[in-house]
Structure 1
Amino acid sequence: MDVKRMQIMESAAQLFSKKGYEATSVQDVAEVCGMSKATLYKYFSSKQTLLIEVIEYNHQRMSQRTEELKEDDSLGALEALRQKVMILLEEFRENHYFIQLLFRSMPEKEGAQVRQLMDRGYRRMFLWHKQSLRDAFAITDETKMNDLVLLFQGLMKEYLFILSEKNEALSLPSIAAYITQVLQIAVENNEKLTHVLPEDWVTEGSTEDTVATLTREERIERLLREMKMRLQAAGRSQKADSLHILEAVEEECTRTHVRKPVVNALLPVLKEEQSIAAKAETLERLMITNL
């Protein structure tokens, strides 16, 4: 990823978490980055797009690190969960401003649009944690899953608060081991526990939903960035061709008049790449609609 783009996102995340989204202006972010507002707009078309990218980038980075554990056949289910918790703790400690942003209570004055983005980010994180617990404990009874995820997140959140706000020098391996042990005890005693949250409290629907308030151009820009991050994060040589094709699509989007034959030739190739197939289909609908 472009170094300057990374700097903007990290600076914005810190400002959003400290001052609040509404209280932070694009000018504030530009000044911290040592650039003009006009230059910043070359990287991000709006403050809302910047917020989305911050959330998406951090989620993608954490997901990629934990997904690598699945490729290690030597790890047992519980050890894989413990290491996943370790990775999350390390990422959150190093980027605690992102956690403050993600779990921050959004005041009414900050608007329904921003709260919708925060809700979406929280929902994605919740479903991701739920799948992690399914993998670790081979859970088939879904009736108590939501409460188990909430227990997991509550433990993580409180330890992260101590680490980031109290600056306590706690052992991350010890925290990860303790959280894993508590979850194991809860699962083993599942029959003795009563659940509080309904099974459909957080649904398993697609997490690829878009925010209706974004313009068509912003949605296209967002999809292109997300797809590029996924391909770059994969780090495998076979992704190189897909990345080149994606860059060609991105370049086509900068034209005054996008050429339909070119788009029709490029997008089907991207739809064959499993990691970005769903996003490629959405991108195709957005681009072809107005051609």
Structure 2
Amino acid sequence: MLKKNELMNRAIQLFSEKGFYQTSVQEIAEATGISKGAFYKYFDTKESLLIEILKLQYENMIKQASSMSQLEGMTRREAFIENMSHELEQWINNRDFFTVLFKNFPPNENKQVSEIMSKLKSSLVNLHRETLIDTYGEKIEPFITDIVIIFEGILKEYIITVILREKSVDVYQLASFIATVMDSIVNSLPYTEPVLTDYLNPANPKERILDCLDMIEDKLNNTNNITTDKEKLLKAVQRLRKEMKTTEPQQFLLEALISYLNNEEILKKEVDVLDRLYKRLVQDE
């Protein structure tokens, strides 16, 4: 495992210096102190090595983002800034890898890369959505699509500027600045109307419940310090997902499964969101 991790780290360095296509398997093997033949004991191809690195980056980013979602002893706004700072640090700390990815693999050029990046985007959208609601309250829900798009647009442009143009930045100062901008936007909402209402629509809790279950499943798969039986928790998530896809979900079963998941301390935030969405679904019906 140590040698495999070293291979991935050396590969990122070489890809960053020379480019993905200009770096050979031989060079990666030599930089790691192994033979070219030994490389293939760990990875089938150079592409499979890149995909493995991307999967690991995805898992780490979601794991870190989820673990930072609840911060004790802070106001909601302070927690918002802290969470944002941490996410920006994740992108910046992995600058070399994402530089290679953005430059060598434009969107839709590689199916596996596109699928993993799409999954990362979807997971972050859900995390951002709930973070924004936690920060500013349910008053922003009618505008949530517009708010998320604006927030992610700001983050994206700063991330691209910092990573691709190699700018240095005080992450906490940047997060505080973005939070101030978001404050101004939220304060202006009473004087305007939402533009987009069909994407991330708060009136469609069933789809959001399924998204939330995906987040819970990802967190379970990427977290080790779980006090409850992980397999049973995963089965509960799978049963919830199956039940939600039926035409007439059984309320008593859904409530029992949600209650069971709520027993796991590490899932409290996600299950709170799940429970809120479920109650909205029942009210709508």
Corresponding residue of 2:231? 271
Distance 2:49 2:73 in 1: 40
Summarize the Cα distance change of 1:273–1:114 in structure 2 as closer, same or farther, 3 Å threshold: same
TM-score normalized with structure 1 length = 0.59
Distance 2:193 2:16 in 1: 38
Identify the range of structure 1 (77-86 vs 169-178) with the bigger mean alpha-carbon deviation: 169-178
Pairwise CA RMSD = 4.3
Alignment of 1:127-166 (within 5 A): 127-139=126-138, 141-166=140-165
Q: Which amino acid aligns with 1:39?
A: A
Deviation string for 1:34-84 (max 9, x for gaps)? 434543343345656544443332233334444444553311111001011
Corresponding residue of 2:106? 106
Distance 2:47 2:211 in 1: 21
Q: Which amino acid aligns with 1:145?
A: I
Alignment of 1:59-78 (within 5 A): 59-78=58-77
Summarize the Cα distance change of 1:227–1:4 in structure 2 as closer, same or farther, 3 Å threshold: farther
Alignment of 1:72-221 (within 5 A): 72-100=71-99, 106=106, 110-139=109-138, 141-200=140-199, 204=208, 205-206=210-211
Summarize the Cα distance change of 1:89–1:273 in structure 2 as closer, same or farther, 3 Å threshold: same
SS state at 2:223 partner: helix
Summarize the Cα distance change of 1:189–1:272 in structure 2 as closer, same or farther, 3 Å threshold: same
Residue 142 of structure 1: how far off its partner (Å): 4.0
Q: Which amino acid aligns with 2:92?
A: R
**8 Å contact from structure 1 (residues 271, 278) kept in 2:** no
**8 Å contact from structure 1 (residues 124, 207) kept in 2:** no
Aligned length: 231
TM-score normalized with structure 2 length = 0.61
Summarize the Cα distance change of 1:29–1:146 in structure 2 as closer, same or farther, 3 Å threshold: farther
**8 Å contact from structure 2 (residues 151, 182) kept in 1:** yes
**8 Å contact from structure 1 (residues 143, 195) kept in 2:** yes
SS state at 1:187 partner: helix
Summarize the Cα distance change of 1:118–1:173 in structure 2 as closer, same or farther, 3 Å threshold: closer
Provide structure 2 residue ranges, at least 5 long, that are not aligned to the other structure: 202-206, 241-285
**8 Å contact from structure 1 (residues 66, 84) kept in 2:** yes
Percent identity for Structure 1 against Structure 2: 24
Q: Which amino acid aligns with 2:232?
A: E
Residue 272 of structure 1: how far off its partner (Å): 2.4
Residue 94 of structure 1: how far off its partner (Å): 1.6
Q: Which amino acid aligns with 1:118?
A: M
**8 Å contact from structure 2 (residues 146, 196) kept in 1:** yes
SS state at 1:189 partner: helix
Summarize the Cα distance change of 1:157–1:103 in structure 2 as closer, same or farther, 3 Å threshold: farther
State yes or no: 1:230 paired with 2:190: no
Residue 87 of structure 1: how far off its partner (Å): 1.0
